[in-house]
Amino acid sequence: MRLGMIVDYSGGFGETVELLQDYERNGLELAAVAEAYSFDAVSQLGYIAARTSSLELLSGILQIYSRTPSLTAMTAAGLDYVSGGRFNLGLGASGPQVVEGFHGVKYDAPLGRTREVIEICRQVWRREPVEFSGRHYRIPLTREDGGSGLGKPLKLINHPVRPRIPISVAALGPKNVELVAELAEGWQPLFFHPGKVDRAWGEALEVGFGKRDPRLGELDIQLQVKFHLGEPEPATMTKVRDQLALYIGGMGARDKNFYNQLACRYGYATEAKEIQDLYLAGSRQDAAAAVPDDLVDAVTLIGDEESVRRQLVEFDAAGVRTLLVDPLAATVEERLDQMARLAKLVEDVR
């Protein structure tokens, strides 16, 4: 298990890098940069790469609709080059709110597009002339595809540091998780319950692993998780509950909420319906109060050292190999101290 953290995409680049260097001295091994409707993640990842020498980097995530597959591959190869082979490409479909509402691109076929993007990226990194005829992407375009007919297969001019950059995918639905188990080196789930993995994804993982190329190695579960050592302030726990209520209750339409569906697969169908009903009715505080305590405990790293160590063991047994912690302590000094203590606990689990 390695220790990473999610970088706040709303902050300044320089301040972030200074803090990352402090975190690195306290046991941090990997930094993941998210991309919402913010500054793009690539700029910050490149800046971090230039200012660090050993910290691994991860996009968490680049969504697949706003970049062509070849551009995604070029970008990943460039980040891997400037970091000296330290970059991991995190991909995901995001959702209609960002894809259609911010980028103005139709949100369709996330499963099929993800598969084709992965295949094209790996073709680019091998420096093969890119020729791909899929359901969603065709390279090069022909006249029949609506192109000029003048395009010809091209290969990447530069030589990548590595012919295969590790890919991880953010996925929650069974079919998406099946694809991850088949094709990706890593998996970025959200609100991961270590005791209910089989219930939520057991069949999907089994099917995907049955088609997996052994050369991909063990699937690296890269877990985003809220973290606090000791008794947090009530306001901190309120934020944790508010986030869970937002995702379970309000992230998508009533019948299109992936997180609500996940809570149901975990066995919280009654609670998930109540949270959603309350949230969509505007009773957000009541929705947060309806989030089960055992669900909050299971999907976070919050408590004294003994509790956090026990949770780390459960995560490890469920296949988590990378922690992407979101520190909740009130001050930078407290967060740095807690990160150093967590690093020792992670070393114990190793």
Tens digits of residue pLDDT in 230-251: 999 999 999 999 999 999 999 8
* pLDDT higher than threshold 80 for residue 8: no
* pLDDT higher than threshold 80 for residue 218: yes
Answer yes or no: are the C-beta atoms of 75 and 88 closer than 8 Å.
Answer: no
> What b/e sequence results for 225-251 when a residue is b if at least 16 CB atoms lie within 10 Å of its CB, and e otherwise?
bbbbbeebeeebbeebbebbbbbbbbb
Clarify whether residues 135 and 220 are in a common domain: yes
Q: In which band, very low, low, confident or very high, does the pLDDT at 16 lie, cut at 50, 70 and 90?
A: confident
Clarify whether residues 211 and 266 are in a common domain: no
Clarify whether residues 254 and 150 are in a common domain: no
| Residue type present at position 233 | E
Clarify whether residues 210 and 69 are in a common domain: yes
pLDDT confidence of residue 13: 85
Cβ neighbours of 270 (radius 10 Å):
11
Clarify whether residues 173 and 130 are in a common domain: yes
* pLDDT higher than threshold 80 for residue 9: no
- The residues facing 4 across adjacent strands are 30, 324
User: Is residue 338, in this structure, part of any structural domain at all?
Assistant: no
Tokens of 334: 């407290």
pLDDT confidence of residue 10: 72
CATH of residue 189: 3.20.20.30
CA–CA distance, 186 with 209 (Å, rounded to integer) = 13
Query: With a threshold of 0.85, does the pTM exceed it?
Result: yes
* pLDDT higher than threshold 80 for residue 11: no
Clarify whether residues 176 and 147 are in a common domain: yes
User: Is residue 214, in this structure, part of any structural domain at all?
Assistant: yes
State the residue range of the domain holding 256: 231-303
Q: In which band, very low, low, confident or very high, does the pLDDT at 47 lie, cut at 50, 70 and 90?
A: very high
Pair type for strands 301-303 and 220-229 = parallel
Clarify whether residues 221 and 254 are in a common domain: no
Q: How many folded domains does the chain comprise? A: 2
Clarify whether residues 271 and 320 are in a common domain: no
* pLDDT higher than threshold 90 for residue 78: yes
pLDDT confidence of residue 253: 84
Over residues 201-213, mean pLDDT = 98
* Length in residues, the chain: 350
| Residue type present at position 295 | L
Radius of gyration of the chain (CA): 20
Q: Mind listing the pLDDT tens digit for each residue in 161-200?
A: 999 999 999 999 999 999 999 999 999 999 999 999 999 9
Clarify whether residues 90 and 210 are in a common domain: yes
pLDDT confidence of residue 97: 81
Tokens of 15: 């301040």
Clarify whether residues 42 and 27 are in a common domain: yes
CA–CA distance, 158 with 35 (Å, rounded to integer) = 26
Clarify whether residues 235 and 127 are in a common domain: no
Q: Mind listing the pLDDT tens digit for each residue in 104-146?
A: 999 999 999 999 999 999 999 999 999 999 999 999 998 988 8
Answer yes or no: are the C-beta atoms of 94 and 61 closer than 8 Å.
Answer: yes
* pLDDT higher than threshold 90 for residue 229: yes
* pLDDT higher than threshold 80 for residue 98: yes
Pair type for strands 138-139 and 132-133 = antiparallel
| Residue type present at position 302 | I
* pLDDT higher than threshold 90 for residue 345: yes
Pair type for strands 320-327 and 132-133 = unpaired
Answer yes or no: are the C-beta atoms of 190 and 259 closer than 8 Å.
Answer: yes
Cβ neighbours of 123 (radius 10 Å):
21
Cβ neighbours of 283 (radius 10 Å):
15
pLDDT confidence of residue 256: 85
Question: What mean pLDDT value characterizes the chain?
Answer: 95
* pLDDT higher than threshold 90 for residue 20: yes
CA–CA distance, 222 with 218 (Å, rounded to integer) = 12
Q: In which band, very low, low, confident or very high, does the pLDDT at 95 lie, cut at 50, 70 and 90?
A: confident
Clarify whether residues 57 and 164 are in a common domain: yes
CA–CA distance, 43 with 92 (Å, rounded to integer) = 18
Q: At what angle do helices 234-245 and 269-280 cross, to 10 degrees?
A: 90
